[in-house]
Structure 1
Amino acid sequence: MKVMVPVKRVVDYNVKVRVKADESDVDLANVKMSMNPFDEIAVEEAVRLKEKGIVTEVIAVSCGPVTCQETLRSAMAMGADRAILVESNIELQPLAVAKLLKAICDKEGPSLLICGKQAIDDDSNQTGQMLAALMDWPQATFASKVELAGDKVTVTREIDGGLETLAMSLPAVVTTDLRLNEPRYATLPNIMKAKKKPLDTIAADSLGVDISPRLKTAKVSEPAKRAGGVKVADVADLLNKLRNEAKVI
């Protein structure tokens, strides 16, 4: 069984994001980049399935500039067998990424696609669902447990009322939540081995899909600073402030 895992290169989650002076975008100059944390969880789950002998091959895929090779090498250091970079220097929005991944799925024919539920840079939470729709595959989102048996996959997902368990036929799309697993740290020997694993590069233009941006960012700004708290004299004063100042009751 072949599993494909899309990974995205994003600003490291430990970095404080800065906005450009003209408020056109986030400033990426001299900023540490890393693999999207939800995608790390997806890679870890795919590698664990391979270690159990259920999966035979794990393929990491990334869409973006040539610098995404670093992220793919990180995925291979975690245990992915090979990687594919769909190279493009234009802004890739969720629908464009889903179209590119569909083209790769048509070429590779994976039985399961595991991806992070969202990227921490845009928080769109759209690519996995869009890809499932384009491929006409069943999907299970926000997975906290994944079990494979034959041509079936059982996914447990957290919902407001508790846990929901879905059973799907393969091929299928699964998006991962935080509680699915804890990604491993890549060891030095595995980092060195990853340098020798195959990494194929495909030009996005050669896949014959429309990836032109459909959305335009009007403005990027930092969140408003939180105001300091105040003490209230009694319950009546608290209710007054909630009703007339906060306007929440």
Structure 2
Amino acid sequence: MSLRIVVTVKYVPDATGDRHFADDLTLDRDDVDGLLSELDEYAVEQALQISEAADDAEVTVLTVGPEDAKDALRKALSMGADKAIHVEDDDLHGTDLIGTSLVLAKAIEKAGFDLVVSGMASTDGTAGVIPALLAERLGVPQVTLLSEVSVEGGTVTGRRDGDTASEQVQAALPAVVSVTDQSGEARYPSFKGIMAAKKKPVTSWDLSDLDVEADEVGLDGAFTVVDAAAERPARTAGTIVKDEGEGGKQLAEFLAGQKFI
């Protein structure tokens, strides 16, 4: 029986872009370019390595997002994933972590899975809780923050590195794992992979396909609310210290005045 691997990926705003809030205090996605979250590339890479080591495996990449989120799926498909699922619905606008985990879990259940692989966090929200929320909703064990991961004999095994020690952890499949940016450099899509990705299937689902009600997601269904937002103040030129024999003293006085020392 084929090992069914589902990788959750996110289409995020380019961190180098100039980002702004819309009138409803959600991110104005029309105002900034997006891309596949860099931390999710590590998840795709580890899923591909697990697939390549298995006798029979299939890698599906899954995202929840607007139309442009297909670009993130295509990047993962060009890396080597077999197929993709895109959940898109206007009622998803403003959905928070709780709602997103509900939609992802419903999609994962509908697709069928043995192993779910996620990045340690997204590069925009950086909350890092989606893997745990998915494990709870799916009713399966979670093995998170792994720098090494492998699957053998119906068991997923990995290494979790802490500040003072490393742990060897494992769980029986089906399970949810997340991997860190120390798990191994993600492969760069080849020209052949980019061309092949154009022919790989991308399935589109909306909330009705997943039996999710509109009031369970979106801004109205969110557990968290942004009350206010303000532009970050422009950076000033700073203080210039000219060293004419007293530079060290002036620098120390400045640092002391800022309570840095």
Please classify the TM superposition score into its range, dividing by the shorter chain length.
0.7 to 0.9
2:234 is the counterpart of 1:233:
no
Letter in 2 for 1:180: S
- Aligned equivalents of 1:41 and 1:241: distance in 2? 40
Does the residue aligned with 2:249 lie in a helix, a strand or coil?
Answer: coil
What does 1:1-249 correspond to in 2, within 5 Å? Answer: 1-13=3-15, 15-20=16-21, 24-53=25-54, 56-89=57-90, 90-209=93-212, 210-211=216-217, 212-221=221-230, 225=235, 233=249, 246=259
* 8 Å CA contact retained: 2:110, 2:210: no
Cα displacement (A) at 1:219? 2.8
Q: Contact between 1:154 and 1:168, CA under 8 Å: does it hold in 2?
A: yes
Which structure 2 segments of 5+ residues have no match?
242-246
Quote how far apart the aligned CAs of 1:63 are. 0.7
In structure 2, what residue type is equivalent to 1:108? A
Q: How much has 1:215 moved relative to structure 2? A: 1.8
The 10-residue stretch of structure 1 (122-131 or 99-108) with the greater mean CA deviation from structure 2: 99-108
Percentage identity across paired residues of the two chains = 29
**1:84-131 CA distances to partner (integer Å, 9 max, x unpaired)?**
111123222211121112112222321110001111111121211111
1:173 Cα deviation from its structure 2 partner: 0.8
Cα gap change, 1:172 to 1:228, in 2 (>3 Å):
farther
Tell me the secondary structure at the aligned position of residue 180 of structure 1: coil
* Preserved contact between residue 78 and residue 196 of structure 2 (Cα < 8 Å): yes
Question: How many residue pairs end up in the alignment?
Answer: 244
Partners of 1:138 and 1:179 lie apart in 2 by 22
> How has the CA–CA distance of structure 1 residues 136 and 95 changed in structure 2, closer, same or farther, with 3 Å as cutoff?
same
Contact conserved, 2:17 with 2:32, CA < 8 A, in 1? no
Structure 1 residues without counterparts, runs of 5 or longer: none
Amino acid at match of 1:84: I
1-side partners of 2:109 and 2:136: how far apart?
A: 14
Kindly report the root-mean-square deviation, in angstroms, between the aligned alpha carbons of the 2 structures: 2.7
**What amino acid is the match of 1:62?**
T
Q: Report the Cα distance in structure 1 between the residues aligned to 2:151 and 2:73, rounded to whole angstroms.
A: 25
How far apart, CA to CA, are the structure 2 residues paired with 1:218 and 1:74?
35
Tell me how far apart the structure 2 counterparts of residues 129 and 203 of structure 1 sit (CA, whole Å). 24
Quick one: structure 1 residues 129 and 218, their matched pair in 2 at CA, closer, same or farther if it must change by over 3 Å? same
CA contact (8 A) 2:21 2:27 kept: yes
TM-score (norm: length of structure 1)? 0.86
Of 211-220 and 137-146, deviating more is 211-220
